[in-house]
Chains A and B, each alone.
Chain A
Amino acid sequence: TQLLEQSPQFLSIQEGENLTVYCNSSSVFSSLQWYRQEPGEGPVLLVTVVTGGEVKKLKRLTFQFGDARKDSSLHITAAQPGDTGLYLCAGVQTGANNLFFGTGTRLTVIP
């Protein structure tokens, strides 16, 4: 069973549109991280959220951690072709010391 489910699995949008990616679980996490992966490379960290209800902004990207620390969302405003990639949420369960990745969302932004 997959610990972290992401939706949608695939997303293809026009440049300038907004989008939201969801990361859901039935488990509680001490923290959640979001990564972006481009072809031929390893994932690169975008943000870490730690506190329930926390909202972090990174330019056009807004990340939110659910109040119960079981889910998170990533919202991109005015998407650009450079945002194209595989977006992965990843969580550390309370008391654990390893990171489990979500199912992934593959985003394509069309110029």
Chain B
Amino acid sequence: SAVISQKPSRDICQRGTSLTIQCQVDSQVTMMFWYRQQPGQSLTLIATANQGSEATYESGFVIDKFPISRPNLTFSTLTVSNMSPEDSSIYLCSVSEQGLGYNSPLHFGNGTRLTVT
């Protein structure tokens, strides 16, 4: 199965700044997703990262706040812009090797634990 490297693993940032999280996969994958996990809670899908085109955002998430890049089939970045303490969460990159229509699982990175002060 795909091995996902996500960095940084954690960061403490000041409000008003931006942080870019990188996700590198060791093989080409069909689908890449970004999730947010607030403290003690489940995962919420932010967006689907589309290769070579704009990401598809879920309700409540916008490109200006969470710009996403996916230049190729093995790499994606998520930027958390103009951060506030409410953005403190774990951000997780995940991939599906075949596409979810084939009932293939999601593989996750270990996440980026972000604290905004």
Are A and B co-members of a single complex?
yes
Residues of A participating in the B interface, judged by any CB pair closer than 8 Å:
30-31, 33, 35, 40-45, 48, 50, 86, 88, 90, 92, 96-104, 106
> Apart from A92-B101, A92-B103, A99-B106, what 16 extra A-B contacts exist at CB < 8 Å?
A30-B101, A40-B111, A42-B92, A42-B109, A43-B106, A88-B42, A88-B43, A90-B43, A97-B31, A97-B99, A99-B45, A99-B100, A103-B41, A103-B42, A104-B42, A106-B40
Question: B33: CB under 8 A from chain A?
Answer: yes
Chain A residue nearest to B33 (CB atoms) is A98
Q: Work out how many contacts link A and B, with CB atoms closer than 8 A.
A: 65
B105 touching A48, Cβ below 8 Å: yes
Chain A residue at smallest Cβ distance from B58:
A98
Question: What's the tally of chain B residues with a CB closer than 8 Å to chain A?
Answer: 26
How far, in Å, is B24 (CB) from chain A's closest CB?
A: 14
Taking the closest CB of chain A, its distance from the CB of B73, in whole angstroms, is 16
Q: Which residues of B contact A92 (CB under 8 A)?
A: 100-101, 103
Interface status of B110 (Cβ within 8 A of chain A): yes
Q: Is the CB of A33 within 8 A of B45?
A: no
Nearest A-chain residue to B31, judged by Cβ: A97
Question: Complex: how many Å from CA A87 to CA B96?
Answer: 20
Q: Known interface pairs A42-B94, A45-B106, A92-B100. Does A98 touch B111 (Cβ–Cβ under 8 Å)?
A: no
Contact A99 B33 (CB under 8 A): yes
